[in-house]
Amino acid sequence: MSDKIKILCSHCKKINAIPANRAIKKANCGNCSNSLLETHPVSVDAEGFRKYIQNSDIPVVVDFWAPWCAPCRMMAPNFEEAAKRFPLKASFIKVNTEEYPQISQQFGIRGIPTIIIFKNGAEVHRVSGALDSNSIIQLVNNFI
């Protein structure tokens, strides 16, 4: 088992290797020097989505949403709040299904908002409907 895990920088999308199973108080990207401890959802395009799913050793929590969707807009602050709880433990990304319908079609998204959790490049869990921040936190904790 490797003593390093791969994390994508939310700013430049470069892959960083950080020590596994250690309390880290400071971690900066080797490419852009921004903090890897920042925990906010990142909006991605098709390439960014692929990069996160294929290159992250931590769970990737994906919010499939659309700007016209009232439940999506209601859940957005809850998704943001939950993301703050998981520095270096999970990545939170957002896919606008209107801008990138090919991604939602690929994963059979039938209703939004839908959250899918990926681990080691594979879908491990999915839930549809707006969730509060505590529900999102509990859900993600199951896959850490």
Point out the residues that are catalytic: 69, 72
Q: Region of 128 please: left (phi>0), alpha (psi -120 to 50) or beta.
A: beta
Q: Are 68 and 122 in contact (CB under 8 A)?
A: no
User: How remote is the C-alpha of 72 from its chain's centroid?
Assistant: 16
Closest CA relative to residue 75, chosen from 135, 138, 139: 135
Look at residue 134 and give its three-state secondary structure: helix
